[in-house]
Amino acid sequence: MGRLLLRYSNRNQAATLHARRRLCAATLCCVLFFLLLATGCAYIPGIDGEAQPDRQAEATEPDLSPLEPAEQALRDAQAENANDFSPRALDAARRRLTLARDIIYNAARQGRQPNAQERERIQDLVDAARLDVRLARVRNQALAVASQVDKLRDKLDARGAADSEVRP
């Protein structure tokens, strides 16, 4: 019986000790969380009451006019349904235009116009995009011509079959 009481009391002590450890760990986690939260808030701009400079005032209006020829060519190709026959070429053109637009917007966010190297890169991207659109349009026209040739060939085959039935 004495041994049973000793085991029972050891279990209670162990359970109590385990509960205390969990409580201490939970308390420690909460304290650390609030310390991190307070430290993080100190580094957020504007939280400490200081007025932050308006970054939008520094930005300039982006000039997207260099992109216009390629964008117009892309719209024309889409109007001709070139996306049906060569979507990859048009996707490549869109990616190039997006990259060129990003270069322009990044410069505008920094409060400046694109420098000479960036302008050259933009022009290269626009030229490549126009070539991609041109490729899509040529593929579209080639497939349209091939379709017409197939239709004419079918008509000639049908007419040739009809003539051979009449002649014997």
pTM of the complete model: 0.57
H-state helical runs in 43-115: 55-58, 68-79, 82-85, 87-109
- pLDDT confidence of 83, banded at 50, 70, 90? confident
Are 93 and 136 in contact, with CB atoms under 8 Å apart?
yes
Q: What is the mean pLDDT of residues 138-166?
A: 83
Q: Please name the amino acid found at residue 153.
A: R
**How many Cβ atoms are within 10 Å of 57's Cβ, its own excluded?**
7
Predicted confidence (pLDDT) at residue 3 exceeds the cutoff of 60: no
In total, the chain counts a number of residues equal to 168
Name the 3-class secondary structure at 23.
helix
Predicted confidence (pLDDT) at residue 106 exceeds the cutoff of 90: yes
- Give the pair of three-digit tokens for residue 109: 């966010």
Phi and psi at residue 40, to the nearest 5°: -65, -40
For the chain, the structural domain boundaries read 1-40, 60-166
Predicted confidence (pLDDT) at residue 36 exceeds the cutoff of 50: yes
Q: What angle do CA 44, 46, 49 make, to 5 degrees?
A: 125
